[in-house]
Every structure is written in C-alpha cells, then in structure tokens.
Chains A and B, each alone.
Chain A
Amino acid sequence: ETGVTQTPRHLVMGMTNKKSLKCEQHLGHNAMYWYKQSAKKPLELMFVYNFKEQTENNSVPSRFSPECPNSSHLFLHLHTLQPEDSALYLCASSHQGQGYGYTFGSGTRLTVV
C-alpha cells in the first residue's frame, strides 16, 4: 500500500474512445500531480493541483482533461488520443509548499491503438 492508489493499472484504448484515469490519496496531502513517462524519456509534469485548484498546465493538449473534485481525488479524462500518447501515467501527492517530496502511485500503463 503506497498511500496513493491509481486505477486502472493497465489500459488499452482506441483513438476514438473516451476513458478516465483515477488517482486517490488518503495521506492528508493538499497537492496532486499528473506526470507522463514515455519510453526512454524523462518524467514530464503535466498538471498540478493545489487545494483542488489547478495551478499548472504544462502545455498539455486538450485531449487530456484533468479534474480534481477534492484534495483526495484526481482524474485524467482522455479522449481522441494518439498512439504517441501511449506511456506510463503517474499520479503523485504532497504537502503543498513544503519540501517533503512526493508520494507516487503505481501508475497506469496506457496503450493507444
């Protein structure tokens, strides 16, 4: 049990599908993050939420739509993805504004066909 739970662990979707990734934390953290990790590439920060408000969007295409209904839950809604969007999507949480680092989930391995 990592403290940050991501579902599903694996997802295969067609380019016309709509799916959602879910992340949940019960660590009392108030910041949550989505990262993308493609093969042989560094971790890419996609979105940051502090106290449910989006504070960072790193030029992510609109086919990725995040949602943070409360400080414990974070979603990533996916629609009309491209094959190059296939990657490991990692969720993390932390205490905002403090240098304690992040707790990561196990990730969702996404394949777009």
Chain B
Amino acid sequence: AQKVTQAQTEISVVEKEDVTLDCVYETRDTTYYLFWYKQPPSGELVFLIRRNSFDEQNEISGRYSWNFQKSTSSFNFTITASQVVDSAVYFCALSEPRDDYKLSFGAGTTVTVRA
C-alpha cells in the first residue's frame, strides 16, 4: 500500500504565483517523521525539511512554508512568490520506526515556474 500520496503529478505556474503541494501519508506509528526533498534538473535530491509527529507547528523558511495537520494526515508545502529556480520535482517522504526509519517516498510533484 502506498504510504505517501502526492496526488498532483504536475503543477505549472507563472512566476510570483504561490503554489501548494499536497502530501497525505498513512502510518500506524505514533512517532514518525515527515520530509520534503527537492530534485532540480541536476538530479540530486536536496533536503528541505524534517518534521516529527509531535510537532504540529507550522514552519516558514523564507518563501517556503509547511502545514502539518495530524487530523488529516497531511503535510503540505507552499512556495510563496514562486521563481523560475523553484522549478523541480518535489518529493514528500515518511520515516517510521516500524520500518527501521527507512524513507517511503511519494511519487513526486513536478513544478514548472514560467517567467
């Protein structure tokens, strides 16, 4: 069964628009970790954020913000005032103790920001 679902396959926006990427996860553990990674065209997956299951505070880092809602098992990611450099594939991932903390990745969302 898919543990992490990223329902949006591709999103295309014009520069300066906001874009929100959805991530829904499934776990039976009470302690777990959620991640977002960015994969630019160069190929490397770049770590963006790690959130543990006991911290539901939303987080903001520059133009990036994350909304963690345990009640809906969602960990959504918003890019504010998007820029062309934000064009990439974004992956949401789940890490659970029952799986020895291996990362389970969603299928990824391709974001294209047009100038």
Residues of A within 8 A of B (CB): 2, 42-43, 45, 48, 88, 90, 92, 94, 96-107, 109
- A96–B100 touching, CB < 8 Å: yes
B101 CB contact (under 8 Å) in A42, A45, A97: A97
| A2 to B44 CA separation, bound complex (whole angstroms) | 9
CA distance A108 to B107 in the complex (A): 20
Nearest opposing residue in chain B for A4, CB measure: B44
Could you tell me which B residues sit within 8 Å of A by CB distance?
32-33, 35, 37, 42-47, 50, 52, 91, 93, 95, 97, 100-103, 105-108
Tell me whether chain A's interface is mostly helix, strand or loop, or mixed. Answer: loop
Other-chain residue from B42, B43, B50, B107 in contact with A42 (beta carbon distance below 8 A) = B107
B108/A104 in contact, CB under 8 A:
no
Question: Can you report 25 A-B residue pairs in the complex whose CB atoms are below 8 A from each other?
Answer: A42-B106, A88-B43, A90-B44, A90-B45, A92-B45, A94-B101, A96-B101, A97-B101, A98-B101, A99-B33, A99-B50, A99-B101, A100-B33, A101-B33, A101-B35, A101-B95, A101-B103, A102-B45, A102-B47, A103-B47, A104-B44, A105-B44, A106-B43, A107-B44, A109-B43
